Amino acid sequence: MKKRFYLDTSIWLDFFENRNEPNMPKGEWAKKLVKKIIQKGDLIVYSDLVLQELENERYSSFEVDNLFFELRQNLLYVESTLAEIKRAKDLSFKREIPNGDALHALIARDNNSILVTLDRHFHTLSDIVKVKKPQELIEI
């Protein structure tokens, strides 16, 4: 069975923009991870929320389509459900995390995906979804 990975929007930005920092090659990690997922024939799940957040970062839908085009064989698009949106609001309030992050976690969980992120506060959701850093998955 194919494994599924849900990349949070920051990982996508690292991938598209090759964002690296001293001692933290985030863009390099993102590229290696995506390459590994493709080589293994696994799937990258992305959602309407990812697309919305990319647009908020000034990417047009045309640009996003072009960026995703080469990956299309290994991509699975899903839309957030009304139930996930409602649950995310509650989870966000109770755990004091951004609503969007709660929604990313629920979408990943409901689509049997590993949530890939570098954001530390996602680890407060590890009882809801399996959370991994890109560098952890590259090493496997």
Distance CA 67, CA 16 (A): 7
Inform me whether the pLDDT recorded for 140 exceeds 80.
Answer: no
Q: Which amino acid is at 12?
A: W
Q: Are 99 and 68 in contact (CB under 8 A)?
A: no
Inform me whether the pLDDT recorded for 64 exceeds 80.
Answer: yes
Question: Residue 1: what pLDDT?
Answer: 78
For the chain, give the mean pLDDT. Answer: 94
Task: Identify the structural domains of the chain with CATH numbers, from first to last.
Answer: 4-139 (3.40.50.1010)
pLDDT confidence bin for 44, thresholds 50/70/90: very high
Model confidence pLDDT, tens digit, residues 12-26: 999 999 999 998 999
Q: Which residues contact 96 (CB under 8 A, 6 or more apart)?
A: none
Inform me whether the pLDDT recorded for 133 exceeds 90.
Answer: yes
Token readout for 4 is: 């599924």
pLDDT confidence bin for 122, thresholds 50/70/90: confident
Distance CA 101, CA 118 (A): 12
